[in-house]
Amino acid sequence: MRILIYTSEFWPVIGGVQSVVVALARGLAGRSVGRDNIEVTLVTKRAADGFDDRTLPFRVVRRPGLTELVRLLRGADLIHLAGPCLLPMLFGWLLHKPVVVEHHGFQAACPNGLLFYWPTQTVCPSHFMERRYQECLRCTAATSGWVKGLSMVLLTFPRRWLSRHAAANVGVSHRMFKRIALPKGKIIYHGVSDMSATLQFDAWRQSGEPCFAYVGRFVAEKGLALLLEAAKLLKVRGRQFRLKLIGDGPARAGLQEMVEALSLRDQVIFTGYLCGKALDEALWDVAVVVMPTLMEETAGLAVIEQMMSGRLVVVSDIGGLGEVVDGVGLKFATGDVEGLTACLERVIESPALVFEMGQRARSRSLEFFRQERMIDDHVTLYRNLLSNRGRSC
């Protein structure tokens, strides 16, 4: 079984989609399906920039020309796309290849892929799906200008048409898949490796104050300004705490200015982007990870990772994020600073919640979000598609 995985972004750029794609490709490489071994070729537009692809257990082809791309697609038994990428979808359809589109965003139902309406910085009420295309143009123009904004809107039409004609559309949560509303759907949750519980209570016991953290990109739609407003309310109410902002992004300078304006310099720590051992060390004394996003997350890989490690999570009750956390974390209404503050105060007043709900979060992760389960579900999907294709030929 020859599987071609196509992703626009790949290592050395680090992100949630890249992490899931690597985990999938690693898990598939060398696996047997009956008497057939799986051969994985990963194709990407991203240049290597010094990264050594030979360290990976699968073949990587970077920035192929059009002729080479068509040759690679023709040689595959099945094409797996990390997102509705136009050219691979088009050529896969023309070549009559089974194409699986795994939707990590909302690109098949929203020109900016986020279902986030930039003019008001609120969740989009599905303007594209409701044919309010002038609102889509206003939104894309607000961040990309009128020319590029118009192009983004127009390209959504063929992207959605080709997604409808894919062999399968994989959603990473039920809530996100309901929003993109495509046929031939299959829900496969993100999977992460089984990490033992890492939370330590020594720092809390010694200092008498909990440490909260955010982990991810610093962009407006992630709601970090809301988290700082909640931190200010905690300080005004005399609560003792620390807050680590782990990550980086275009909103960092504005957030640092906000910390100064709110007099939170003694409470808030910016660590910069961290991964691997450095990230583990930064999270060692963190009691709670907070994800106050203002947009509809498709799944929330960072939250799944923290749940697997047995850590309590506090999240906006929106999109796939609320579905993933379900009843094993604390949730608040999107954009509600008082609701977020109440969740954090509850933790401060009841430290036992950290262990109790953290254990429940880990149990849920072991049931639904194991990496092995994610790989198995993909293999089953591929096998069924190829088997049905063989019977129809």
Q: What is the per-residue pLDDT for 204?
A: 56
What domains does the chain contain, in order, with CATH numbers? 2-191+370-392 (3.40.50.2000), 202-368 (3.40.50.2000)
Closest CA to 234 of 280, 281, 288: 288
198 residue type, one letter: T
**Per-residue pLDDT tens digits for 347-371:** 999 988 988 999 999 999 999 999 9
Low-confidence ranges of the chain (pLDDT < 50): 200-201, 203, 393
Distance between CA 97 and CA 336 in Å, rounded?
47
Distance between CA 217 and CA 196 in Å, rounded?
25
Q: What is the per-residue pLDDT for 208?
A: 67
Peptide bond into 98 cis (omega under 30): no
Q: What is the per-residue pLDDT for 393?
A: 41
Say which residue the tokens 């639904």 belong to: 368
What are residue 224's phi and psi, to 5 degrees? -70, -30
Q: How far is CA 64 from CA 39, 45, 138, in A?
A: 19, 7, 34
Say which residue the tokens 């036992």 belong to: 352
Beta strands in the chain (DSSP E): 2-7, 32-33, 36-37, 39-44, 59-62, 78-82, 99-103, 116-117, 122-123, 168-171, 185-187, 211-215, 242-246, 268-272, 288-291, 312-316, 330-332
Q: What is the per-residue pLDDT for 253?
A: 97
**Per-residue pLDDT tens digits for 262-311:** 999 999 999 999 988 898 889 888 989 999 999 999 998 999 999 999 99
Q: How far is CA 352 from CA 201, 332, 346, in A?
A: 11, 20, 10
Residue 245: CA atoms inside 13 Å, Cβ hemisphere, count?
27
Q: Is 115 exposed, middle or buried (0-12, 13-18, 19+ CB in 10 A)?
A: buried
Q: How far is CA 302 from CA 54, 216, 243, in A?
A: 27, 7, 17
Distance between CA 246 and CA 284 in Å, rounded?
13
Angle CA(317)–CA(127)–CA(166) in degrees, nearest 5?
A: 85
Distance between CA 196 and CA 187 in Å, rounded?
26
Residue 358, token pair as written in the block: 């953290």
- Contact (Cβ atoms closer than 8 angstroms) between residue 59 and residue 38: no
- Contact (Cβ atoms closer than 8 angstroms) between residue 218 and residue 259: no
Q: Which helix (H) or strand (E) holds 212?
A: strand 211-215
Residue 309: CA atoms inside 13 Å, Cβ hemisphere, count?
21
Distance between CA 286 and CA 293 in Å, rounded?
19
- Contact (Cβ atoms closer than 8 angstroms) between residue 61 and residue 72: yes
- Contact (Cβ atoms closer than 8 angstroms) between residue 204 and residue 211: yes
- Using DSSP, state whether 43 is helix, strand or coil: strand
Q: Which helix (H) or strand (E) holds 70?
A: helix 66-74
